[in-house]
Amino acid sequence: MSHVDQTNRLDAEQFPADATDLQADVVTDHNHKLYIETVGCQMNMLDSELVVADLRKRGYELTRDVKEAETILFNTCSVREHAEHKIYSSLGRLRYGARKNPKKVIGVMGCMAQKDQNLIFQKAPQVDFVVGTGQLAQVAGLIDKARINHHNHVRSRELAVGLGRKDGKHTEITNSFQSYDPLRDPEMRPSPYQAFVRIMIGCDKFCSYCVVPSTRGPEQSRSPREILSEVKVLSDQGVKEVTLLGQTVNSYKHTQDGKLFRLSDLLHLIHEVEGIDRIKFVTSYPKDMTNDLLEAIRDLPKATRYLHVPLQHGCNDVLKVMKRGYTVEDYRDMMQRINEILPGCSVSSDFIVGHPGETEESHQKSLASIREFRFKNSFIFKYSERPGTKAAERFPDEIPDEVKKRRNNEMLKVQNEISEEDNAEFIGRQVEVLVEGPSKSAQKVGQDSSGALAEQLVGRSNCDRIVVFDGNPRLAGTIARIEIIDVTPTTLIGSIVTKEYQLHSGPSLPILQ
């Protein structure tokens, strides 16, 4: 999954009011201004959207100014130490303000809250409550409770018993699915045309370096019925592209009415939803990339030809230490199947450099794997030792930071070269772009050849490449055909061919990706 660092990103879903044990009267003499900071993966982005929607329903309004907010939330990530430091330093900056204004309530949610509840209260006593990843329905109640309790630390009940378990002893996570009301506020999405849909939570893979299984609990798939009804509501609201979310999204399995549904079955179901033009999913696990899934993508025009399947390392010895459960040869077989069944499909990866067991030689193998597999892009992370993980228990984090940095830069350099070379192949070709809206980086406004208002717009091709071009902002939410005239390692730069092109009603077009 890619990572975010966002403040007050708008998007939403709603929670029921009864999900807290709060009995006392609600304190109302605060200003209802809400500030929220989100770090971490798309799961966190979605969680923030849900919480914000619930709070808006209760009269809160978002502000980007932390000083004027009397309710402040941090949605946290524990995947690397750096992500945690960021949150502690943000919390540190609020210490004085919180003491000065007793109406301020500060809450910490997300993976760090799940993992380090007591530590957070110790290190940042200005925090009023922590709430676990499966108990988001309790946030509103905890805010009220913190005000009533005059800032005596409070936490969501289930944090005390840990995350849900597969044996059914604790089923809070599963229940928290049921508490999601799929109605969302279109105004609150990153673009009104794109939405995340969670299809599963948790992870059962237990890669040795990773905290996610302990912060998100065991893998649980949501029922196709619920997912489908959520997608239909989103489509009614004007959403054109859904991104299905799961830590190992292609491990999705759910038995409903006696029938087993896999991700491929889900794609077929969602493909029938009118109004949805694109279906994506992240993040895939290499070992679960079965042919039925690749064939579903081949057969369903709305499924995009893009897979995020992290390899993590190019050396079998390190993959073994990581407990990833596959070899480079297995990954190569998977890539061959992808290329055979889905020609032109782009694949992106994550890599960790400086993992215990990585030698200079094994690092060279990671570099070679980028060259061999020609990823569209790769997210490259320096190994960060996470207490409680198998890697932290068994192996010292012995590779010096300068070495990790150097290896990271070498990986980025090779990946950039590959990305630019492969992007250059697009010059002179046409791609279908779902237009997201004006590009944030360049606010160029002028007129196009017909004299209409033109701005630099941004969108993504079917193979998930970022495309910028000049066009009328009203094209946002449509699929436009763009001819590529130039490229950078990260972006295709194009010019518009047809102003509007509806994916399934237009004439059949050649090589559009």
Residues numbered 251 to 290 that lie near ligand SF4 (CB under 6 A) are: 285
Strands (DSSP E) along 320-478, which ranges? 346-353, 378-382, 430-438, 445-447, 453-461, 466-471
Environment class of residue 85 by beta-carbon count within 10 Å: exposed (0-12), middle (13-18) or buried (19+)? exposed
> Considering CB distances under 5 to 8 angstroms, the limit depending on partner class, which of ligand SAH, ligand F3S, ligand SF4, none binds residue 77?
ligand F3S
Q: Among 10, 12, 36, 43, which residue interacts with ligand F3S (rule: CB under 6 A)? A: 43
Residue among 200, 210, 279, 345 that touches ligand SF4 (CB under 6 A): 210
77 binds ligand F3S (CB under 6 A): yes
User: Residue 341: exposed, middle, or buried by beta-carbon count in 10 A (0-12, 13-18, 19+)?
Assistant: middle
CB of 373 to ligand SAH, least distance (A): 15
- Residue 22 to residue 294: CA distance in whole angstroms: 48
Nearer to ligand F3S, 77 or 270 (CB): 77
Measured over all CA atoms, what is the biggest interatomic distance in the chain, rounded to whole angstroms?
66
The least CB distance from residue 247 to ligand F3S, in Å, is 7
213: partner contacted, choices ligand F3S, ligand SAH, ligand SF4, none (Cβ within 5-8 A by kind): ligand SF4
What's the token pair of residue 53? 């929607």
**Considering the rule CB under 6 A, would residue 40 count as an interface residue with ligand F3S?**
yes
Is 227 a binder of ligand F3S (CB under 6 A)?
A: no
Q: How far apart (Å, rounded) are the C-alpha atoms in residues 464 and 459? A: 9
Residue 212 is a binding residue for ligand F3S (CB under 6 A)? yes
From 16-24, 38-46, 165-173, 376-384, give the range in contact with ligand F3S by CB under 6 A: 38-46
Please report how close the Cβ of residue 3 comes to ligand F3S at its closest, in angstroms: 7
> Nearest distance from residue 87's CB to ligand F3S, in Å?
11
384 binds ligand F3S (CB under 6 A): no
Separation between Cα atoms, residue 508 and residue 500, nearest integer Å: 14
Q: Does 105 bind ligand SF4 (CB under 6 A)?
A: no
How many angstroms separate the Cα of 314 from the Cα of each of 238, 328, 468? 42, 6, 33
CB of 382 to ligand F3S, least distance (A): 15
Taking the least distance from each CB to ligand SF4, the nearer of 146 and 163 is 163
| Binding site partner of 352, from ligand F3S, ligand SF4, ligand SAH, none, Cβ cut-off 5-8 A by kind | ligand SAH
- Angle at which helices 360-373 and 328-341 cross, to 10°: 10
Given ligand SAH, ligand SF4, ligand F3S, none, residue 384, with its beta carbon under 5 to 8 Å by kind, binds: ligand SAH
For the CB of residue 348, give the shortest distance to ligand SAH in the complex, in Å.
11
Does 199 participate in binding ligand F3S (rule CB under 6 A)? no
Q: HSE-up of 63 (CA within 13 Å, CB side)?
A: 14
How far apart, in whole angstroms, are the C-alpha atoms of residue 234 and residue 168? 31
Could you say whether residue 217 binds ligand SF4 (CB under 6 A)? Answer: no
Tell me what percent of the chain is helix, strand and coil, each rounded to the nearest 5.
35, 25, 40
- Please identify, using beta-carbon distances, which residue of 51 and 77 lies nearer to ligand SF4: 77
In 3D space, the residue among 196, 264, 186, 214 whose CA is nearest the CA of residue 1 turns out to be 196
Q: Which of 44, 63, 248, 419 binds ligand SF4 (CB under 6 A)?
A: 248
Structure token digits, residue 309: 């399947």
Choosing among ligand F3S, ligand SAH, ligand SF4, none, which partner's interface includes residue 78 (Cβ < 5 to 8 Å by kind)?
A: ligand F3S
Residue number with CB closer to ligand F3S (162 or 438): 162
Name the site residues for ligand SAH (rule: CB under 6 A): 1, 79-80, 209-210, 212, 247-248, 283, 310, 312, 350, 352, 381, 383-384, 386
SS (H, E, C) 219-284: CEECCHHHHHHHHHHHHHCCCCEEEEECCCHHHCEEEECCEEEEHHHHHHHHHCCCCCCEEEEECC
Strand partners, 242: 195, 279
Contacts to ligand F3S from residues 106-135, by CB under 6 A: 110-111
Contact 141, 19 (CB under 8 A): yes
> Is residue 120 at the binding interface for ligand SF4, with CB under 6 A as the rule?
no
Closest to 53 in 3D by CA, of 180, 216, 230, 157: 180
- CB nearer ligand SF4, residue 33 or residue 205: 205
Residue 40 contacts which entry, ligand SAH, ligand F3S, ligand SF4, none (Cβ below 5-8 A, type-dependent): ligand F3S
**Contact pick of 119, 206, 388, 447 for ligand SF4 (by CB under 6 A):** 206
Q: Is 493 in the site for ligand SF4 (CB under 6 A)?
A: no
Q: What are phi and psi of 206, to 5 degrees?
A: 50, 50
Strands (E), 264-416: 278-282, 306-308, 346-353, 378-382
Tokens of residue 379, six digits? 């997210």
Asked whether position 205 contacts ligand SF4 by CB under 6 A, the answer is yes
Residue with Cβ nearer ligand SF4 (271 or 390): 390
Radius of gyration, CA atoms only, the chain: 23
Q: Which residues bind ligand SF4 (CB under 6 A)?
A: 203, 205-207, 210, 212-213, 247-248, 285
Q: Which residues bind ligand F3S (CB under 6 A)?
A: 40-41, 43-44, 77-79, 110-111, 211-212, 215-216
